[in-house]
Amino acid sequence: MTTTSDFERRLRAADLRVTRPRLAVMAAVESLPHADTDTLIGAVRAELPTVSHQAVYDVLRALSLAGLVRRIQPSGSVARYESRVGDNHHHVVCRGCGAIADVDCAVGHTPCLTASDDHGFTVDEAEVVYWGTCPDCAAANA
């Protein structure tokens, strides 16, 4: 479990001021992986009732730019945020309910992760989203 002092250390290392809204947003993102902005606003307001929507949006943007949180937006979905950064992991998304789970980077023979034509780019990362049906939706449709 990450402590407030861990969040403070991360903020300082990214040259960001330590503020109560930033700490609350970091805690919310960590405790609610892949949450959307409205869910995060609700969690932050449980701790800081007077924080504005705009303040949470601004903090999420600053944390994303600093690399302290990752913003993902699967096709057809609103933006979601996670605290797992820096490891190039991927996601699996349920077509039914929209649930999202982490998938570690592919290993072994991965032909789809090698661009057939890189157009001169130096490729250093691939973003993969796996789509399917989660176990709960599969059971409900059985």
3-state SS, 40-78, equals HHHHHHHHCCCCCHHHHHHHHHHHHHCCCCEEECCCCCC
Q: What pLDDT is recorded for position 111?
A: 65
Q: What pLDDT is recorded for position 117?
A: 87
Contacts of 66-71 with CB under 8 Å at 24 or more apart are 66/14, 66/15, 66/16, 67/14, 68/10, 68/11, 68/14, 68/16, 68/26, 69/25, 69/26, 69/29
From first to last of its 142 residues, what are the pLDDT tens digits of the chain?
788 899 999 999 999 999 999 999 999 999 999 999 999 999 999 999 999 999 999 999 999 999 999 999 998 889 999 999 988 788 999 999 999 999 987 777 766 677 888 899 888 777 888 999 999 999 998 8
Length of the chain: 142
Q: What pLDDT is recorded for position 96?
A: 93
